[in-house]
Structure 1
Amino acid sequence: GLTAYCYTGGYDCPPKTLTGSVRDDLIYIPEVIGVGELAIADRRAPEPEIKDLAKACIDSYVGGMLANKPGVAHIHVGDGARRMQSLRDLMEKHVVLPGNFHITHIGRSEALIKEAVEMARQGCYVDLDLWDRDFSYWYQVYKELKGPLDQLTVSSDASKGPPADLWYEIKACVLQHGFKLEELLKHFTSNTARALKLSRKGHLAVGCDADVAVFDKNTFEMKHVISRGQILMKDGKLNFINRPPDSRREFDVYGIRKEEDSKI
């Protein structure tokens, strides 16, 4: 039931790929939807040459066009003094679409988040991670700077955080910091879907994937989870679909639709 995609490459630029080029990875590998994380202003990778950074981003865009995929360029911004200077140079010297850039780790400093707000105003998507559990602080800073809220996403990326941290952070922001759920939710759902150009994700509508999480409105405890129409959790218990035939484990199985049942 779960949906999983990946980027080709990593911190280095030119990026290492599976087929020899970013464009071909997008064309020939179904799961690849973009390039990243391309690192700038970070001690763990050399600052990329602008022409190399431009080629990686443009190849991702063109590969996406040819394969009918997002073709996103995912940018990792470190804590170096240059901050987003390489991106500004790229956009000044090359014809690129700001909406194709997804820039992460913007909550490292106030100087960096100010630059992120400017990038978001140009149409880039910017991302706050959950490092040090300080999302609520940086979210408030972003709002005070009048950053475009439709361009802001939240990820569990930093420190290899588990995806469950996203839910824990929503819970903490509402129950402990007083944010409204209806204000927060889009940064974790619909904004991310738009940033990654996944039109079937991030909202509930006819023809879209049936991804639903149901929780207690008072305690925020998760009750039910449906992914692409498959029930993965019911009444707080995990539902293991397609149980291995040789497994001796005890499973509680719910919601498996029989072939003769009418389609929903």
Structure 2
Amino acid sequence: MIRLIKNAEVFMPESMGTKDVLFAGSKICQIADEITIEGDVRLEVIDGQGKYLFPGFIDNHVHITGGGGEGGFCTRTPEIGLTDIIDGGITTIIGTLGTDGFGRSMSNLLGKASALEEEGITVFVNTGSYQIPVRTFTDSISNDIMFIERIVGVGEIAVSDHRSSCPAVEELEKIVSEVRVAAMLSGKIGIVNVHIGDEPEILEKIKQIASKCKAYKKHFHPTHMNRSPEVFEDGLSYLQMGGSIDFTTSTTPLFLEEGEVACADGVLRILDEKLDVTKVTLSSDGQGSLPVFDKEGNVIGIEIGRVTSLYGAVKECIEKNVPIDIAISLITSNPAAIYGLKRKGCIKEGYDADMVLVDKDTLAIDTVIAMGEILKKQGKNLKKGAFE
């Protein structure tokens, strides 16, 4: 089947104006002012009039096998389903374990990633969880990254958090060194995804390592950097050093009331201070737990992260006058570049046919296309997960 999107305003994520986009199989074939197909071919035309065409969204931090458990076994969050992913306009995911590296495993994570790919979503994963030593699939971080194509990094490794292994600077340095060498040998970038809690040290250990060896800066990608004003400010200082940071889009009214920085406000601050916004990403922490602790560290409440919050935060950015191309880059070209995801994050000829059509007036998602397959059309999902 050859498919043609007509008359959409295309963001690659930079604005290209009104274009036609032709795709066949899993690839984008042609982008032009006007494309005409002649002859006896099977052609499906998708009307893009009155719509923006964005690259498919990349969620770089999702607990695809579920997460949490801080409040006991009954608070282990469930695996993600395909419907939520489609509703969020997400076409590429990076899966991670998180707090529970004991009851959940890398085998479980890789199996779920394969299942989601069979259903039409591109999935990469990080090896390990909060804990150090890193719990790998093979016998080492190096072998995981070098020989398992789907594994793009390590993490999320917990730092500055009461649930972490309290890693020493030397332990973190050994991890990033191993990731760097394995990535170089396998043609990957190699990311250490770092969970940042709200303990006072925040990014101190990461900054020490990045200051000692500048080459390591591109390998650390700390997340939850909007969880408090103090964490946010430390994230800005890391941006000034040339590092990259990630904001979490899943939140609760209580978190915001207690000082969490809304993603849109954080992005506006970065633009106002003329920091490098290409080093900033948004991720949902989907299916992760959102626990509330009292002053003694006891769990007093828990909610669940949602992947649909990812585009919700982007819409809020646009509504607060963040330029559309910058807002979209936070979940497309930026994570693709930081993680080294080839043929992802842009609408270009030869790239994977991952695209999202949204209504210009409401910004509502109309159509979702992943690897050339239409998963949602005119607001209606065309596919469900195996057990949904």
TM-score in terms of structure 2 length = 0.58
User: Aligned with 2:138: secondary structure?
Assistant: coil
Output the CA distance in 2 between the equivalents of 1:173 and 1:95.
31
Which of 162, 167, 177 in structure 1 is aligned with 2:311? 167
Q: Structure 2: 5+ residue runs without aligned partners?
A: 1-119, 257-261, 291-303
User: Greater RCO between the two (CA within 8 Å, min separation 6)?
Assistant: 2
Query: Residues 80, 144 of structure 1: CA spacing in aligned structure 2 closer, same or farther, 3 A cutoff?
Result: farther
Output the CA distance in 1 between the equivalents of 2:125 and 2:281.
17
Which of 328, 332, 354 in structure 2 is aligned with 1:211? 354
Output the CA distance in 2 between the equivalents of 1:181 and 1:89.
35
User: Aligned with 2:174: secondary structure?
Assistant: helix
Segment of structure 1 superposing worse, 94-103 or 25-34: 94-103
Describe how 1:131-150 pairs up with structure 2 within 5 A. Answer: 131-132=251-252, 134-150=262-278
The answer on whether the counterparts of 1:58 and 1:96 sit within 8 Å (CA) in structure 2 is no
Mapped pair 1:230 → 2:373: yes
Output the CA distance in 2 between the equivalents of 1:13 and 1:92.
22
Query: Residues 94, 12 of structure 1: CA spacing in aligned structure 2 closer, same or farther, 3 A cutoff?
Result: farther
Give the residue type in structure 2 aligned to 1:135.
Answer: C
Output the CA distance in 1 between the equivalents of 2:366 and 2:188.
33
The answer on whether the counterparts of 2:176 and 2:216 sit within 8 Å (CA) in structure 1 is no
Output the CA distance in 2 between the equivalents of 1:22 and 1:112.
28
CA shift at 1:167, angstroms? 1.4
CA shift at 1:128, angstroms? 0.8
Which of 322, 325, 328 in structure 2 is aligned with 1:179? 322
- Give aligned-pair identity as a percent: 29
Which of 207, 214, 217 in structure 2 is aligned with 1:88? 207
Mapped pair 1:56 → 2:182: no
Segment of structure 1 superposing worse, 133-142 or 37-46: 133-142
Output the CA distance in 1 between the equivalents of 2:331 and 2:148.
26
Query: Residues 37, 229 of structure 1: CA spacing in aligned structure 2 closer, same or farther, 3 A cutoff?
Result: same
Greater strand percent: which structure? 2
Q: Which residue of 2 aligns with 1:98?
A: 217
CA shift at 1:100, angstroms? 1.8
Q: Which residue of 1 aligns with 2:20?
A: none
Q: Which residue of 2 aligns with 1:33?
A: 152
Q: State the 4+ residue runs in structure 1 displaced beyond 6 angstroms.
A: none
CA shift at 1:211, angstroms? 0.9
Greater helix percent: which structure? 1
Segment of structure 1 superposing worse, 94-103 or 225-234: 94-103
Give the residue type in structure 2 aligned to 1:216.
Answer: D
CA shift at 1:116, angstroms? 1.5
The answer on whether the counterparts of 2:264 and 2:314 sit within 8 Å (CA) in structure 1 is no
Output the CA distance in 2 between the equivalents of 1:161 and 1:53.
27
Q: Which residue of 2 aligns with 1:5?
A: 124
User: Aligned with 1:82: secondary structure?
Assistant: coil
TM-score in terms of structure 1 length = 0.83
Q: How many residues align?
A: 244
Which of 234, 239, 244 in structure 2 is aligned with 1:120? 239
Output the CA distance in 1 between the equivalents of 2:234 and 2:316.
27
CA shift at 1:26, angstroms? 1.2
